[in-house]
């Protein structure tokens, strides 16, 4: 059973429920937020292994703003952007702001689960390697 923590950030409760339903059986702990303010509050109390967020929240740039805030505190944890739009400029901007992956809605929950687990596994290996390097 896994023990990683994920923060799912989206105004759409249906989207957050789909994430929970897809990932809950793995043991991953899924925290949820629907705003910048709530996200900051949760991040002040919990350290996350992965962030899943929609680019478009209350304001067009809120997702980008959240990525900047995450990267100020956490340079390594993977960030996955979700959006209904397939605009290349949005994708490029999101990646340049610090996101690692980009998935368009609607998405297949089984595929999401496989992608998240693969990202978490890779991230764990990186963290272990960094710990070994620090000990040398």
The 10s digit of each residue's pLDDT in 29-44 is 999 999 888 999 999 9
Residue 124 has pLDDT above 80, yes or no: yes
Q: In 34-44, which positions are buried (b, 16+ CB within 10 angstroms) versus exposed (e)?
A: bebeebeeebe
Q: Are 83 and 55 in contact (CB under 8 A)?
A: yes
Residue 129 has pLDDT above 90, yes or no: no
Tens of pLDDT along 41-97? 999 999 999 999 987 777 666 788 889 889 998 888 999 988 776 778 888 888 888
* pLDDT at site 28: 95
Distance separating the N- and C-terminal Cα atoms of the chain: 30
Q: What pTM was computed for the model?
A: 0.89
Residue 116 has pLDDT above 90, yes or no: yes
CA 107/CA 132 separation, integer angstroms = 37
* pLDDT at site 4: 94
What is the domain partition of the chain in residue ranges?
5-135
Mean pLDDT of the chain: 88
CATH top class, domain 5-135: alpha beta
* pLDDT at site 79: 95
């Amino acid at each position: 059973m896994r023990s990683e923590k994920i923060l799912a950030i989206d105004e759409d409760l249906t989207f957050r429920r789909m994430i929970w339903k897809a990932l809950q059986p793995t043991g991953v702990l899924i925290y949820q937020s629907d705003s910048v303010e709530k996200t900051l509050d949760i991040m002040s109390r919990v350290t996350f292994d992965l962030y899943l967020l929609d680019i478009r929240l209350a304001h067009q740039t809120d997702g980008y703003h959240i990525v900047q805030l995450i990267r100020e505190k956490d340079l390594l944890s993977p960030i996955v952007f979700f959006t209904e739009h397939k605009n290349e400029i949005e994708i490029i901007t999101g990646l340049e702001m610090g996101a690692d992956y980009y998935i368009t809605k609607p998405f297949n929950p089984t595929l999401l689960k496989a992608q998240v687990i693969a990202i978490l596994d890779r991230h764990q290996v990186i963290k272990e390697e960094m710990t070994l390097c620090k000990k040398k």
